[in-house]
Chain A
Amino acid sequence: MSSLAQSQLRETFELNIGPQHPATHGVLRIKVVMDGEYIVRAEPILGYIHRMHEKMGENRTWNQFWPNMGRLDYLSAIAYNHCYACLVERAMGIEVPERAEYIRVITAELNRIQSHLLGFGAYIMDLGGFTPLMYAMDEREQILDLLESVTGSRLTYCYFRFGGVYNDIDDDFITGTRAFIKRFRPQIPMYHKLVTGNVILMDRLNGVGPISADLCRKYGATGPVLRGSGVNFDVRRNEPYGVYPELDFDIPVYHECDSMARYMVRMDEMVQSCRIIENALNKLPEGPVMAEKVPKALKPPKGDFHFAVEAARGTFSMRTVSDGTNTSYRMRLRSPTYSNVSLFEEASRGMLLSDALAFLGSLDPVIPEMDR
């Protein structure tokens, strides 16, 4: 907490959390007006890592915009790859081979588990428990190794291409993924035993940071935040894309609306992702992984296109207006964390400061994606 300014008039004081604070997961600054231990007003101040991704989308060619997709939400970059690929494929009318669709889903779900694992570990660390992070990192490492063996990168993936994926998966990857799932499945009950059942955690999360479904709708919150408030909305189900309709999985929904509910949604989603991956591996067809005849110099027809995917933190959607040239006329990215954190101001009124940090962590913000 960087600065402390006392104001004699209102008997409240201002407190800055961040922009360099371990509990804000990056360069998020929250200006809080405090009355003793209670928050009167908390205002998230964004923009410390704004990089003009939308503008870059407008002056780079369609292919050159690919690396940006790995640098928005660096924890679930593959979902962002997925959105961009599908957006341009929709605009161009490119058919993606079946195998590529399956590979996309498998890698995206692995990426989601990885993201939730880190979210879980970092969240517990925010609350003061260090050990679970190490457990989570151990599992996460396995996923990163698997993804590295197909995509070549460990964090900022640039793996999808218009019409397919960069390269095919091999048998090593398939056996490795199956082995990982076998190893990971029993870990989740272990996490529940170690962490969720812990009385300190329960006391800190149960009933903390209540967000009603209406508040979520008001600010457009999505993902685990929305599903923790009892709304069953998931783009994979409600606006299915790729091969999700062919795979069976459940959408975990919790009705408690508190931080614990959001935490539990993430934990359950990891189990569901395992199910999706297994299912997809069983159904994985043979065939090419790239569509034929995708032009090198892409020029989508004139028009306004939109695509949404379910990233680890909620709905990520892209909208582009194409004027028929090799760059986009207007590119708009809608990132989930931006909406999720927007409700912090309203929801945190009257909260204890320590609760507010537990609440903020349960929103699982990733700042580079919020600022774009």
Chain B
Amino acid sequence: MSGYFKEIITGLKSLAIGLQITNKEFFTKPITLQYPHESVKMTPRYRGHIELVKDPQTGTHRCIACGMCEKGCPTGCITVQAEKREGVKGKVLTAYILNFTTCSLCGQCVENCKPEAINFSNEYNLASTRREDYIFNLLQKLHPEGVPEPEIDPELLKKEREKKEAAKKEPAKKAAAKEGGESKAEEKS
């Protein structure tokens, strides 16, 4: 019988101690943030989706379209589209498609990129009900007002034109010369 009362007393005591702690919380400041009205400040290292970095010198991205990010991505969510333009060294990026639905934010692409052309953004307000909203063209995101045309190097343009002329003059070697020229341009990039 005494054990029974003892249990009740210890039980009540433990409840009283618990309630004491709980009651204290009435007087502390709540830590809840009212999300749409207030938002958390993201740390600079927060990994949002990747973005092309704007080079302050040139005012555009640094991507050379080497495709290393595409190759290293575990889920294959990057597609780099580029083309060769007359008078421009290397390849010109025409679209950088990121399928964010499959991105795992691992950072392989950022690490693989030699010219440091991509980085993680701080964007996290990405809720949407449509899947297509998560397929980003990062180039468009960087230049929403329109992608600037790459600068044409007149010397290179002249050289390339001359090469073409030379190739035209020798129709027999035409194919071979053109291929050679192209692979050289690729090597440079």
Please determine whether B22 and A131 come into contact, CB atoms closer than 8 angstroms: yes
- How far is B107's CA from A296's CA once the two chains are assembled, in angstroms? 14
Task: Indicate whether A197 reaches chain B with its CB closer than 8 angstroms.
Answer: yes
- How far is B6's CA from A199's CA once the two chains are assembled, in angstroms? 12
Please determine whether B74 and A197 come into contact, CB atoms closer than 8 angstroms: no
- How far is B17's CA from A152's CA once the two chains are assembled, in angstroms? 40
Please determine whether B104 and A158 come into contact, CB atoms closer than 8 angstroms: yes
Please determine whether B17 and A193 come into contact, CB atoms closer than 8 angstroms: yes
Task: Indicate whether A149 reaches chain B with its CB closer than 8 angstroms.
Answer: yes
List A143-173 residues whose CB lies under 8 Å from chain B.
145, 148-153, 156, 158, 161, 166-167
Task: Indicate whether B137 reaches chain A with its CB closer than 8 angstroms.
Answer: no
Bitwise, A184-209 to B at CB < 8 A (1) or not (0) is 00000010011101111010000000
Bitwise, B74-116 to A at CB < 8 A (1) or not (0) is 1100000000000000000000000000001111100110000
Task: Indicate whether A55 reaches chain B with its CB closer than 8 angstroms.
Answer: no
Which of B15, B22, B46, B106 is A67 in contact with, Cβ under 8 Å?
A: B106
- How far is B15's CA from A54's CA once the two chains are assembled, in angstroms? 48
Please determine whether B72 and A152 come into contact, CB atoms closer than 8 angstroms: no
Chain B residue contacts of A65, Cβ below 8 A: 74
List B1-47 residues whose CB lies under 8 Å from chain A.
7, 10-11, 14-15, 17-18, 21-22, 31, 43, 45-47
CB A143 to nearest CB in B, in angstroms, measures 14
CB B99 to nearest CB in A, in angstroms, measures 15
Given A63-B108, A66-B74, A66-B106, does the pair A152, B18 have CB atoms closer than 8 Å?
Answer: no
Task: Indicate whether A60 reaches chain B with its CB closer than 8 angstroms.
Answer: yes
- How far is B149's CA from A81's CA once the two chains are assembled, in angstroms? 43
Number of chain A residues close to chain B: CB under 8 A: 33
- How far is B122's CA from A10's CA once the two chains are assembled, in angstroms? 61
Chain B residue contacts of A195, Cβ below 8 A: 18
Task: Indicate whether A325 reaches chain B with its CB closer than 8 angstroms.
Answer: no
Please determine whether B31 and A138 come into contact, CB atoms closer than 8 angstroms: yes
Number of chain B residues close to chain A: CB under 8 A: 26
- How far is B17's CA from A197's CA once the two chains are assembled, in angstroms? 9
Given A63-B108, A193-B21, does the pair A152, B14 have CB atoms closer than 8 Å?
Answer: no
Which of A67, A166, A199 is B104 in contact with, Cβ under 8 Å?
A: A67
Please determine whether B22 and A153 come into contact, CB atoms closer than 8 angstroms: no
Given A151-B45, A199-B11, does the pair A158, B106 have CB atoms closer than 8 Å?
Answer: yes
Chain B residue contacts of A354, Cβ below 8 A: none
Task: Indicate whether A20 reaches chain B with its CB closer than 8 angstroms.
Answer: no
Residue of A nearest to B73 (CB): A64
- How far is B45's CA from A167's CA once the two chains are assembled, in angstroms? 9
- How far is B22's CA from A151's CA once the two chains are assembled, in angstroms? 34
Chain A residue contacts of B43, Cβ below 8 A: 145, 148-149, 152
Please determine whether B7 and A199 come into contact, CB atoms closer than 8 angstroms: yes
Please determine whether B15 and A199 come into contact, CB atoms closer than 8 angstroms: yes
Task: Indicate whether B120 reaches chain A with its CB closer than 8 angstroms.
Answer: yes
Please determine whether B45 and A64 come into contact, CB atoms closer than 8 angstroms: no
Interface SS of chain A: helix, strand, loop or mixed?
helix
- How far is B19's CA from A193's CA once the two chains are assembled, in angstroms? 10
Chain B residue contacts of A198, Cβ below 8 A: 14-15, 18
Among B22, B106, B108, find the residue whose CB has the most chain A CB atoms closer than 10 A: B106
Chain B residue contacts of A190, Cβ below 8 A: 21
Residue of A nearest to B103 (CB): A67
Residue of B nearest to A159 (CB): B107
- How far is B72's CA from A64's CA once the two chains are assembled, in angstroms? 7
CB B119 to nearest CB in A, in angstroms, measures 11
Chain A residue contacts of B21, Cβ below 8 A: 190, 193-194
Given A198-B14, A296-B112, does the pair A149, B106 have CB atoms closer than 8 Å?
Answer: no
Bitwise, A18-36 to B at CB < 8 A (1) or not (0) is 0000000000000000000
Chain B residue contacts of A194, Cβ below 8 A: 17-18, 21-22
Please determine whether A149 and B45 come into contact, CB atoms closer than 8 angstroms: yes
Please determine whether B105 and A60 come into contact, CB atoms closer than 8 angstroms: no
List A264-313 residues whose CB lies under 8 Å from chain B.
296
Chain B residue contacts of A64, Cβ below 8 A: 72-74, 108
Chain B residue contacts of A141, Cβ below 8 A: 31
Please determine whether B107 and A148 come into contact, CB atoms closer than 8 angstroms: no
- How far is B60's CA from A207's CA once the two chains are assembled, in angstroms? 67
CB B174 to nearest CB in A, in angstroms, measures 37
Binding site for B on A (CB under 8 A): 60, 63-67, 70-71, 131, 138, 141, 145, 148-153, 156, 158, 161, 166-167, 190, 193-195, 197-200, 202, 296
Interface CB pairs A-B, < 8 A, 18: A63-B108, A64-B72, A64-B73, A71-B104, A148-B45, A152-B47, A152-B120, A156-B104, A161-B111, A193-B17, A194-B18, A197-B17, A198-B14, A198-B15, A199-B7, A199-B10, A200-B11, A202-B14
